[in-house]
Amino acid sequence: MNALAATNRNFKLASRLLGLDSKLEKSLLIPFREIKVECTIPMDDGTLASFVGFRVQHDNSRGPMKGGIRYHPEVEPDEVNALAQLMTWKTAVAKIPYGGAKGGIGCDPSKLSISELERLTRVFTQKIHDLIGIHTDVPAPDMGTGPQTMAWILDEYSKFHGYSPAVVTGKPIDLGGSLGRDAATGRGVMFGTEALLNEHGKSISGQRFVIQGFGNVGSWAAKLISEKGGKIVAVSDITGAIKNKDGIDIPSLLNYTKEHRGVKGFDGSDPIDPNSILVEDCDILIPAALGGVINKENANEIKAKFIIEAANHPTDPDADEILSKKGVVILPDIYANSGGVTVSYFEWVQNIQGFMWEEEKVNDELKTYMTRGFKDLKDMCKTHACDLRMGAFTLGVNRVARATVLRGWGA
């Protein structure tokens, strides 16, 4: 089942639990707007190249639409649609005043020069500048993009609309980016893990963790969890996978990965097959890479008691069912990785106010939002006698449905 089919399935299950009107259900599922643009740029060698850009704006009933822009060869409409819809429910679960959107360009950023990436970003912005905006749709970085990409979008957008730092988030600090944004998703994962373990009478200290994916989210989660006394026994990234049953020295690994661009070959650990990382013996598994990695083929072999979904859609519905029967507790992605969009909201607020916060305030506010979010999620689980994933979906869908009806749906 692809990401869009799985997201639609979860939405429909939540809708039935909530008893939503069938016409309202259909309205909530259909995107507000889908944009597809052609972006032709001159390459460094003088030739012309064309790329296809997408922006799916899913829902704006609770506020401006919000979501990342990714540069990846496999960016395609169904995936962008699923991720836009997930952002609608994620922002509602986090209780921040946004809707959902997602975008991207089908390209391989590793094969483009910096100047080619800049030209591509500027052409894409020229094509969509009338459809994004501070109170309309606020993009952010995603896979294959980062603060520099956001800086180019800000500059190009400002040529048409005047200086507008709040039009994108995840910007460089010097252009109005927020302190604490870089660590936000990983820090949110740590706060979410803490809240879940507290519910089960446990703490992070002494728990054994396996982290699949050691990019921005996985590395920050590893750093913050190890500082809380958690033991990271195995990690993996695109270069390979390593294991140390006594715990990997995370500060040393972070220094090593900066120099060697990957975890492969790190001293003080043993190399393992990257395909076995998800089934390593641990208490808590954190998939922090791509979607669909936990499926019916490997779900039975997973030994973790808890799974924290730091990636988007890492567990497919078949695996969900298998793991549920095994008693594995899954903290769903639309709550677990919402730290990033929450601090993006803080950045947007700071830009609109023209008043920047200290990093301590950003981190304290994030903890407040993540802690409250978990309590709200658990309340929905009790109300509807459901698991955490369906608790999160019913929470998000209910908030969006209520806003839609209050604004005069069907009038």
- pLDDT the model gives residue 171: 97
SS3 259: helix
Binding residues for substrate: 66, 90, 344
The CATH number of residue 292's host domain is: 3.40.50.720
Name the residue among 247, 250, 264 with its Cα closest to residue 209.
247
Please indicate, yes or no, whether residues 258 and 155 belong to a single structural domain of this protein.
Answer: no
Confidence of residue 395 (pLDDT cuts 50, 70, 90): very high
What is the arithmetic mean of pLDDT over 402-406? 96
Task: Let me know whether 35 and 151 are in one domain.
Answer: yes
Are 153 and 241 members of one domain? no
Is residue 4 scored above 90 in pLDDT?
Answer: no
Q: Is residue 342 part of a domain?
A: no
How confident is residue 229, by pLDDT bands cut at 50, 70 and 90?
A: very high
Q: Does any domain span residue 276?
A: yes
197 and 322 share one domain: yes
Determine the pLDDT at residue 183. Answer: 94
- Last residue within a domain, chosen from 132, 165, 198: 165
**What Cα–Cα distance (Å) separates residue 207 from each residue in 115, 152, 217, 229, 285?**
46, 42, 19, 8, 11
pLDDT of residue 1: 63
Using a pLDDT cut of 70, give the percent of the chain over it: 99
pLDDT at 410 over 80: no
In a domain, 394, yes or no: no
Q: What SS3 state is found at 322?
A: helix
Segment 97-114 shows an average pLDDT of 96
Q: Which three-class secondary structure state does DSSP give residue 148?
A: helix
Which pair of tokens denotes residue 236?
Answer: 């993996």
- Asked if residue 331 and residue 199 are part of one domain, the reply reads yes
pLDDT class of 165 with cuts at 50, 70, 90: very high
Same domain, 159 and 46: yes
Residue 96 lies in a domain: yes
Backbone angles phi, psi at 403, to 5 degrees: -65, -40
Backbone angles phi, psi at 164, to 5 degrees: -140, 75
Cα(309)–Cα(316) distance, integer angstroms: 12
154 and 232 co-located in one domain: no
Give residue 255's identity as a one-letter amino acid code.
N
Structure tokens at 187: 């820090």
Burial group, residue 273, by CB count within 10 angstroms (0-12, 13-18, 19+): exposed
Mean pLDDT on 78-96: 93
Q: Specify whether 58 is located in the same domain as 199.
A: no
Q: Are residues 149 and 49 in the same domain?
A: yes
Q: Is 144 among the domain residues?
A: yes
For position 204, what pLDDT does the model report? 96
- 150-162: per-residue pLDDT in tens? 999 999 999 999 9
Same domain, 212 and 327: yes
Residue 313 placed within a domain = yes
Same domain, 218 and 133: no
pLDDT of 286-297, one tens digit each? 999 888 899 999
Q: Which sequence positions are flagged as catalytic?
A: 102
Q: Cβ(18)–Cβ(98) under 8 Å?
A: no
Residues at the binding site for NAD(+) are 185, 216
The pLDDT assigned to 387 comes to 95
Q: What value does the mean pLDDT take over residues 172-177?
A: 97
- 176 has a pLDDT exceeding 90: yes
Model pLDDT, residue 411: 60
Residue 356, pLDDT above cutoff 80 = yes
Measured between alpha carbons, how far is 334 from 289 in angstroms, rounded to an integer?
15
The reply to whether 76 falls in a domain is yes
Q: Could you please report the per-residue DSSP string of 102-157? A: EEEEES-GGGS-HHHHHHHHHHHHHHHTTT-BTTTEEEEE-TT--HHHHHHHHHHH
Of the candidates 7, 163, 179, the residue with the CA atom closest to the CA atom of residue 78: 7
Of 104, 113, 48, 46, give the one whose Cα is nearest residue 79: 104
**Domain boundary residue, one of 335, 370, 402:** 335
Crossing angle, helix 388-406 and helix 3-18, to 10 degrees? 70
State whether 135 and 257 are in the same domain: no
Contact predicate 212/277, CB 8 Å: yes
Single residue among 111, 137, 165 that ends a domain in this structure: 165
Q: What's the chain's average pLDDT?
A: 95
What does the pLDDT read at residue 87? 95
Q: Please tell me the total count of domains within the chain.
A: 2
> Tens digits of per-residue pLDDT, 285-335?
999 988 889 999 999 999 999 999 999 889 988 999 999 999 999 999 999
Annotated binding site: 66, 90, 185, 216, 344
193 within a domain of the structure (yes/no): yes
**Each residue of 190-207: pLDDT tens digit?**
999 999 999 999 999 999
**CATH classification of the domain holding 107:** 3.40.50.10860
User: Domain limits at 221?
Assistant: 183-335
Half-sphere exposure of 123 (CA within 13 A, CB side): 20
